[in-house]
Structure 1
Amino acid sequence: MLASIAQIVHLRHMKIADADILIIPGYQGSPKGHWQHGWAQKMPTAQIVEQDNWDKPDLQSWVENVHQAVLMSTRPVVFVGHSLGVTTIAHVAERLTDSKVAGALLVAAPDLDQKKGIPKQIKGFAPIPHNPLPFPSSFIASANDPFCSVEAAAEMASAWGSAFNVPGELGHVNPASGFGAWPEGLMAFANLMKKL
């Protein structure tokens, strides 16, 4: 399925080649087997934005690295964020002063206001920005994400002005939840690209 990413997006009348796809992983990164890792390998204009330490996230460092990746991009940027990567994108959005970012696919953002279940290593990313994002976005949440309730996800999506979708019980939409290539996510990405 991943081999046909470019074909899928082309059928949607939008070319991946028209954008720099910046993939923003969350806490502990997106190792081999994670859908973000697979997408980065298969999309010709995609890259994972690397962080200094995936296991000890630092808000300022992560935001700066993503912001620099945006500034270095030569085409319109489309973010693909997962988990703490989504929170990072929301923080980066507060720094953006131009329209270089064309859109974002946001997947399984954590609710950092939860009192339990959130790793202490990521608490420094709170509070979550609640300003509207200055670009179109699509937020995919899971009905049984251990790190975020549907209600909290809906609140974030509403604050950010994101299209909101809960396609079912997907866990945290990671390999531990059984997600490798995640073709349904790929279709959601293609739909977002079509709208940009």
Structure 2
Amino acid sequence: MDARRVCVLPGYANSGPDHWQSRWEAADPMFVRVSMPDWENAVCEAWCDTLDTVVAASEEDPLLIAAHSLGCLTTVFWATHVATPEQLAKVAGALFVAVPDPTSVSFPSEAHGFANVPFVPLPFPTIVVASSDDPYGSTEFAARCADAWGSRFVNIGPRGHINAESGLGDWEEGRRLLASLVD
């Protein structure tokens, strides 16, 4: 992958040091975490505003987004409800990993405003990566999102929530998927 800024968007409660997102950041200074105002009390509007500020301030070539869990929904709401055409043009693509289903009983009660997921085409290339045993979102839900958003869909089998507990380490397959958005 060419040197390109990657906005890393963790989900609810942030990504710890063993999460693939954190490992990517530690290995490459072009990967920069978007710091949300409150990781434990996720409010869609506030998270979208934070992403909007980061993208608007970006002066690099079109950037990529590497989103996990609630970071995926944040990106979708931002792209469909907040972003201007100029800001959307700054995004080369997004990797959505472990998209959570807000109607699931396991969806965090501390996450607010994410219920009405936009099922519309997104204005930049995307890939949705799902696990067949994700407790926060079924492969059927992820496939429905991918279809509506115009995303490529990748099922990586039983890997839980595709987080640190999934034992992915540096998750090179994920890096290759991210790179494929601009190859």
Structure 1 range deviating more: 124-133 or 49-58: 124-133
Q: Could you list the runs of 4 or more consecutive aligned residues of structure 1 that deviate by over 6 angstroms after TM superposition?
A: none
CA distance in 1, matches of 2:56, 2:153: 28
- 1:98-137 alignment runs, 5 A limit: 98=86, 99-114=89-104, 116-137=105-126
The structural deviation recorded for 1:54 is 0.5
Contact kept in structure 2, 1:108 and 1:173, CA below 8 Å: yes
**Which residue number in structure 2 is paired with residue 161 of structure 1?**
150
Aligned to 2:64: 78
* Percent of matched pairs sharing the same residue: 38
Is 1:149 the counterpart of 2:134? The answer is no
- The answer to whether structure 1 residue 26 and structure 2 residue 11 are counterparts is yes
C-alpha distance in 1 between matches for 2:56 and 2:71: 18
Amino acid aligned to 2:172: P
- Segments of structure 2 that go 5 or more residues without pairing to the other structure are none
Confirm or deny: 8 A CA contact 1:174 1:180 kept in the other structure: no
- The 3-state SS of whatever aligns with 1:130 is coil
Q: Which residue number corresponds to residue 170 of structure 2? A: 181
Distance in 1 (CA, whole Å) between partners of 2:90 and 2:164 is 31
CA distance, structure 2, for counterparts of residue 35 and residue 127 of structure 1 = 28
Q: Which moved more, 1:52-61 or 1:181-190?
A: 181-190
For the aligned residues, what is the CA RMSD?
Answer: 1.3
Once the 2 structures are TM-superposed, how far is the Cα of residue 187 of structure 1 from its aligned partner? 2.0
CA distance in 1, matches of 2:94, 2:146: 12
Q: What is the aligned partner in structure 2 of residue 43 from structure 1? A: 28
Instruction: Give the length in aligned residue pairs.
Output: 178
CA positional deviation for 1:71: 0.4
Counterpart residue number, 1:3: none
State the secondary structure of the residue aligned to 2:176: helix
Relative to the length of structure 2, the TM-score reads: 0.92
Instruction: List gaps (5 residues or longer) in structure 1.
Output: 1-8, 10-14
Q: Once the 2 structures are TM-superposed, how far is the Cα of residue 191 of structure 1 from its aligned partner? A: 2.2
* In 1, Cα distance between equivalents of 2:165 and 2:30: 27
Q: Which position in structure 1 is the counterpart of 2:159? A: 170
Q: What amino acid does structure 2 have at the position aligned with 1:141?
A: A
Aligned-pair distance for 1:58?
A: 1.3
Q: Distance in 1 between matches of 2:131 and 2:9?
A: 19
Amino acid at match of 2:98: A
Q: C-alpha separation between the residues in 2 aligned to 1:135 and 1:190? A: 14
Task: Please give the alpha-carbon distance, in whole angstroms, between the structure 2 residues aligned to 1:113 and 1:170.
Answer: 21
Q: Which amino acid aligns with 2:9?
A: I
In the alignment, which residue of structure 1 is the partner of 2:49? 64
1:90 aligns to 2:111 (yes or no): no
Q: Structure 2 counterpart of 1:171, which letter?
A: G
